[in-house]
Chains A and B, each alone.
Chain A
Amino acid sequence: ETGVTQTPRHLVMGMTNKKSLKCEQHLGHNAMYWYKQSAKKPLELMFVYNFKEQTENNSVPSRFSPECPNSSHLFLHLHTLQPEDSALYLCASSQVWVEKLFFGSGTQLSVL
């Protein structure tokens, strides 16, 4: 148990659907992250939130919309996705200035 919980574990959606990914951390951290892991590509940082404020948007298309209502919860709202958005989406948290990120188990997303 890493202390970072993601739901759902698997998600299949059509290109016209709207869905949300949820992440919750129980570690008392103040920074949360969304990463995308595609086959044969490095993990890509998507968004960073620090104390609920978005501090990084790594040129992510607007069909991905993050929300961070508090330091423990992070959402990724999805709408009108493309098949190439199929990937493993990983949430992570950290205590800023401390050594390492703690990752959740991820949501395996398939866009049909």
Chain B
Amino acid sequence: ELKVEQNPLFLSMQEGKNYTIYCNYSTTSDRLYWYRQDPGKSLESLFVLLSNGAVKQEGRLMASLDTKARLSTLHITAAVHDLSATYFCAVGKVKSSGDKLTFGTGTRLAVRP
């Protein structure tokens, strides 16, 4: 059974600081996703990582994937308040029956002044 673990579960950080969220998964996978969810809102796709060593960046967020270690990281650079949200990683298996994603528990990020 595929398990996905994120840490930390909760992160309070000061504006301007850097931090990293970690996502470990237990079995091989086709792809890894990062999503963002604001309170009361839907999940918004941030990144899709498809291969070992993949790195993607969007603004102050950078995601990377190490398939050998079964680890993905989401690095936050110079945090701002707008980044406050819950971040989920999800690991996917592409199947002809539909993509099946297994989600981590999420990391709730609070950026304070």
Contact = CB atoms under 8 A, between A and B. Distances in A.
Interface stretch (A13-21, A47-55, A74-82): A47-55
B31 A45 contact: no
Contacts of B4: 42
A97 B100 contact: no
Contacts of B102: 42, 45
Interface residues of B, number: 27
Nearest to A33: B98
Contacts of A99: 31, 48, 50
Instruction: Give the interface residue-count category, chain A.
Output: 20 to 34
A40 B48 CA distance: 24
Nearest to A91: B42
Contact of A103 (B43, B97, B106): B43
B98 A50 contact: yes
B105 A56 contact: no
B96 A45 contact: no
B1 to A, nearest CB: 12
B87 interface: no
B101 A101 contact: yes
Interface string A18-61: 00000000000001010000001111010011100001100000
Interface of A: 2, 4, 31, 33, 40-43, 45, 48-50, 55-56, 90, 94, 96-97, 99-106, 108
* A-B interface, 4 closest residue pairs, ranked by CB to CB distance from nearest: A55-B97, A43-B103, A31-B98, A48-B98
